[in-house]
Chain A
Amino acid sequence: GCFVFKPSTKKRRLSDKTAHDFRTTSNDSEDTELRFVTCQSLWNQIKSETEQIQENLNKQLLDNLVSFLSRSHSDFQKKTTEWTCRMKFREIPTAALVLGVNVTDHDLTFRGLSDVLQDNVTPYVALLEAKDCPGIKNLMQKLMGQLMNCDIDVDSLEDEDCVQVSQNRIRCSMSSLISWYDSVTKKTHSETPSKKRNSSSRHWQSPPVVVIFKDMESFTTKVLQDFIIISSQHIHELPLVLIFGIATSPMIIHRLLPHSVSSLLCIELFQSLSCKEHLSTIIDKLILTSRFPFKLGEKVLQVLINIFLYHDFSVQNFIKGFQLCIVEHFYSQPLSVLCCHLVDIKKRVYSLSHDQCENIRRLPSFRRYVEKQGSGKQIELLTNDSFLKEETEKLLEDLHVYHENYVRILRCLHVFTSSLPKYPLGKQIRELHCACLENRVWETEEYESSLQLARMLNKTDLVTMLQQCVEILMSSSGKEFDRAVEKLKKFLTQFQNLEEASQDRDVSISPQKELQKKTDLYHLQKTLLELKESRRSKKVTKFEMLRFEVVDYIDSLVRRYLVPAEDRTLHEIVYFNAAAVLREHLNAAPRTALHTALNNPHWYLKNQALKCDGGGISNKAPDICIVYKLHLECGRLINLVDWLEAFSTVVMAAEEPNADAASSDQVDDVIHARFIRAVSELELLGFIKPSKQKTDHVARLTWGGC
């Protein structure tokens, strides 16, 4: 079944090839080279950025783990012989690492972990996966293989005997492991000082042996139990530390291991960062920033987030989707060559060819822009390439500025909306971002209600929010927000003054209060009436006035800066909006496609004869569709003879007008053959299977029918 084909010609280099693909594939040959390079460099930037983020996020966890490791075997190093310590030695120090359900992201975490450990703690780290260890023997084999190999790496292929050892596959037992450990540690002690410094500066003396079980849930309990029991016997001689990677909950340890075994472990729990926070950070750093010229449209972002939330919680997949977006964008949009950093724009705009200029003119957003211009400028824009280029450059710069401002104001708005009760515009900034991208946010009901709520905020909240906003706006480099900052600061001082004023008033009121203390009924009545009067007349306090002003000002900022990207001219160049493509490739529904093809072949085969109103199909449909339709009418078992009869009825009816001349027997055979083919195709697709319950029957594997 397998065939290997080898070419006789020389192979081309990989990188050339990829670029070549890009070139040949894009239907127009404009700037493909440059586009590809831009795409690659952008992706590499983003990739390194995400890795950086991941590393930073895991730092805390890794630090905790390292300190745990150092604590766990401090006694071993001291070689204490106290009785309590010895009792403790029966227990293997264990770190239970709760990582969450996003299994696909764990790989990166573990890789980071083992790197850190090997750099800082111990060279002896073994990563075990359940699929490699169906039995205790395999486990030991794998463990020793990894440990001894890493030993070679550290001691620089000098120790040939070690290589020999791993090659000869000496019997894998705990005792051989211990003797290996002894020899290795002794060697490092006896080695030349220079070397020793090299290794011991990074690692501790008698470094612990760390065994990581990547996916603890998938290990068979027997293997785990055996391993733990055996190694607990040897814990005096071998400083072993276990790390369990747990996807579900720490309870699983007790479910997998009986008490007698789990009592041999000294477990400490570590919790990794939740994947949602991880995603928020990624979105914050990749999308809500003006560092990268490439942007995601609203629908695309929605699809990516939904795949994350509804399907896998996997940040890795989110990034993969992001990568696909980049590739698709640069691949399908010839103008994406302009999707670059601000510094390059000028050069690139002026090197555009005439065709590319035409492409610009064809952009819907650009056409809208042209229509708004005066007639003289319109003609210039549509006929003069160099004028167009100037204009394009200006527009692109505008777009860039728009982004920077957008992000700031979005963050400011988020400060407000994230503290409102019930979060009408969403709790996360990504929800707010989507809402703003989708349409004019100030026209939505949610925005209206959140403004209403914002008008009811108390003063301390409002002041802290304003301070946050000022911080956000101050951090921007441009001068765009100088006035806004000033204004906000003015608000703040006004609040401050208000406070003082109210204190003053408090002082003035205080005599009143004193009055209340000791008074007769008449006076009391009088003061109460006065108070009532004053309350009624004082409809809007100064504070409320100010609050309205603040909210209105924020509103004006929003209206000015949070214009949806689709309203901006030339947004097509930097925004990727083909959500359908993305969904088709990442979140496909094979069953639905089959369903459509079988029930409605006209969807694919554009032939009039196949068109049929109503739910049914015409009798001229492909054989498999007819057979499928017929089988839907049956229960669990289908009689092949009935089926064949029904099929031939349909097919004959469809063919009758043109083919009644042929001899009936011949036709019958052909129909029979077609039926057989269609049925076996259905079997291949998994709709039916042969059944032994009754002769000449098949069993249906799906439910229902239409």
Chain B
Amino acid sequence: MSRPEGMRSSRRSLQVKFVPDEDVLKHISDDAGTKVRKDKAQLSVSVKRFVKKLENISDNEPQEILEEKNYVAALGICAQDPVGNGSNISGGEVYSFQTPKRSNKMAELASELAQTPEQNVAPDRSKCPEKMAKTPQSSKLSILNCLCFSNFMWAEIVWKCNLKKKEFVSTTPYRLRKRLAAPDPYLESESEYSASCSEEEDEEEQKEVNTILSNQKTPAKTKAASTPPPRNSLAKKNKEQKMGNLVEEYFEAHSSSKVLTSDRTLQKLRKRRLNQQTLHDLLKNTPLAYADEIRDLNQQHESLFSKWMLQLHLGFNIVLYGLGSKRDLLEKFRTSLLQDSVHLVVNGYFPSITVRSILNSITEEVLDHIGTFRSPLDQLEFITKRFKEDSSLELYVLIHNLDSQMLRGERSQQILAQLSSLPSIYLIASIDHINAPLMWDQAKLSLYNWLWYETTTFNPYVEETSYENSLLVQQSGSLALSSLMHVLHSLTLNARGIFRLLAQHQLEKKDNPSYPGLSFQDFYQQCREAFLVNSDLTLRAQLTEFRDHKLIRTKRGADGVEYLLIPVDDSTLTDFLEKEDEDV
């Protein structure tokens, strides 16, 4: 059902119709069992047909769902599913096509999400939580929800149209902020409106037709109540929606390689960038949401520990997948069961981990072998031989994030797979990346001999992401600064002066976003004036040295002039100059 929803894209009232269908479906059909599933599919087909009449959706949809169902049945997936893995989702939902996106879509969803619970979901639940599942009343309620929701959407459209009318073009986030700061009159009117409408709906029958009808009525009333909305544009929209079909949307999504996003940058946000430490502190102080449920979830997984041990000993290796950090889980496994045996813990997320270091720690620390190897393959051979010779040797290997950047290469996986195929090496690993299973071909899979375990923990990836040069964290902070200092301290005084000059110049121009860098000629002139160089050859030699240490970058401009730039952000540069001043 997710697909049609995704297709609503720019057609507003399409959404209005779809949500109720889905809700009705949800309530009519339970979520377990094959039979019900079948019913559900059929039902969805029939409902879809109905909808199709109304809005001209291409035929393929229901067909496709049926086919998908057949395939699923053929795979034996319909077998009952006791524990919570969400595997009864069809592939089409997970791997969907690209759909056309508009720039303000996200903001809309945000406001939608922000809105929902206050309006209806929460109170409804508090009133009749247990009835929600079965009674006919509940389905009515959900229809009401959707109605209110759709009303809200209508109101928003109206409101936006108004904005347009006033020639007031704003980016969405601005709108959001505004709405957050002061409650919007239209939104208020909308909530009043939804109340009245739900009363009206109570008297009526709860059929989609009616819903749609009333939906079409509602905007008219909104018109009457508030400012008159542009009627033409609405009509036009409806027309557009009728014409829309899958194929067009597909090409729309793929036609332009250009992506339209707003130009706002974080710097304009006037928000200081957080560095790693403050980020860590802040997150430590915020309480983890749903801690109880997460603990329950983890306890479920922990009950499997001894089963894992058994299966490891029987020659299988275990791989854990699912959302959430599995580090704590594995750590608990280690402390509770592996205390008495030799084991190796590999933090795959560590940015400088290599297969070599894993093999080294096996040969050096587990096998107490001193000496080096010509290649990892030799090393592997040595390990294999030792483990085959001595049957009393056994080793547990725990790898956090087997799919990390450093380990996901073909060769490393090959070596690890061969290692894990040794009968007395027991491997238990975790993967997180969505495409992690693509690392393994049939040969590797058979070497690994995996048993898959879903361990969704919802734990935050604290350790795993701390190494990642995160997008928003103040990058290049202390590390870049210290490396700058380090390199410069090994240079001559003149060289340092040259670099200072460049840095100062760059800082002066920091407000100019299109600053190309300092041109070589200007720079030479300045250096001469400061008695730092006596010929442009010496300057060039110096610059080469800088470039080798990646302190500067040169760029050739459109006019063929060479421009010099320090690829470090301004704050670091300021810090650097301050430090330099202290030293001097």
Contacts and interface: CB of A to CB of B under 8 A. Distances in A.
B274 A680 contact: no
A588 to B, nearest CB: 3
Interface string B456-477: 1010110011001011110000
B125 A608 contact: yes
B321 A653 contact: no
Interface in A411-460: none
Interface string A1-25: 1111111010110100110011011
A299 interface: yes
Given A25-B307, A593-B87, A605 B286 contact: no
Contacts of B352: 1
A4 B366 contact: yes
A583 B443 contact: no
B322 A597 contact: yes
B173 A11 contact: no
Interface in B495-529: none
Interface in B280-314: 282-283, 285-286, 289-290, 293-294, 296-297, 306-307, 309-311, 313-314
Contact of B452 (A580, A584, A675, A687): A584
Contacts of A93: none
B157 interface: no
A577 B266 CA distance: 56
Interface residues of A, number: 131
A590 B446 contact: no
B340 A12 contact: yes
A697 B86 contact: no
B313 A14 contact: yes
A635 B260 contact: yes
Contacts of A675: 472
B76 A618 contact: no
Nearest to A302: B76
Nearest to B449: A320
Interface stretch (A478-486, A519-527, A620-628): A620-628
B259 A636 contact: yes
A324 interface: yes
A5 B431 contact: no
Contacts of A314: 442, 446
Interface centre among B75, B86, B350 (most CB of A within 10 A): B86
Interface in B411-436: 414, 424, 431-436
Given A4-B366, A681-B460, A684-B464, A635 B286 contact: no
B243 interface: no
B340 A642 contact: no
B54 interface: no
Given A5-B343, A673-B283, A630 B76 contact: no
B32 to A, nearest CB: 12
B442 A104 contact: yes
Given A299-B79, A624-B323, A17 B313 contact: yes
Contact of A593 (B290, B293, B314, B454): B454
Given A686-B435, A698-B471, A18 B94 contact: no
B329 interface: no
A505 interface: no
Contacts of B465: 677, 680-681, 683-684
A646 B110 contact: yes
Interface stretch (B114-122, B185-193, B234-242): B114-122
A643 interface: yes
Contacts, number: 409
Assign chain B's interface to a size class: 35 or more
A685 interface: yes
A650 B114 contact: yes
B57 interface: no
Contacts of B2: 615, 706
Given A1-B348, A642-B261, A684-B432, A588 B321 contact: yes
A235 B58 CA distance: 68
Contact of B394 (A3, A14, A608): A14
A646 to B, nearest CB: 4
A597 B86 contact: yes
A643 B115 CA distance: 17
A706 B22 CA distance: 13
A112 interface: no
Contact of B361 (A2, A579, A590, A693): A2
Nearest to A637: B259
A132 interface: yes
A11 B261 contact: no
B177 A645 contact: yes
Contacts of A605: 290, 293-294, 297, 458
Given A132-B377, A604-B84, A639-B261, A1 B458 contact: no
B293 A670 contact: no
A686 B261 contact: no
A616 to B, nearest CB: 7
20 contacts: A3-B345, A5-B342, A6-B365, A24-B306, A310-B74, A316-B446, A580-B81, A588-B321, A593-B87, A607-B290, A614-B26, A633-B105, A640-B472, A645-B177, A670-B282, A677-B460, A677-B461, A679-B471, A686-B433, A704-B98
Smallest CB-CB A-B distances: 10 pairs: A596-B86, A704-B96, A653-B114, A588-B452, A1-B350, A706-B2, A646-B110, A597-B323, A1-B353, A104-B446
Interface of B: 1-3, 5-6, 19, 22-23, 26, 74-77, 79-87, 89, 91, 93-101, 105-118, 121, 125, 129, 132, 142, 145-146, 171-173, 176-177, 180, 259-262, 264-266, 268-269, 271, 274, 278-279, 282-283, 285-286, 289-290, 293-294, 296-297, 306-307, 309-311, 313-314, 316, 321-324, 334, 338-348, 350, 352-353, 357-358, 360-362, 365-366, 377, 392, 394, 414, 424, 431-437, 441-443, 445-446, 449, 451-454, 456, 458, 460-461, 464-465, 468, 470-473
Interface of A: 1-7, 9, 11-12, 14, 17-18, 21-22, 24-25, 102-104, 107, 131-132, 299, 302-303, 306, 310, 312, 314, 316-317, 320, 323-324, 327, 331, 579-581, 583-598, 600-601, 603-608, 610-620, 622-624, 626, 629-631, 633-647, 649-650, 652-654, 668-670, 672-677, 679-681, 683-687, 690, 693-698, 702-706
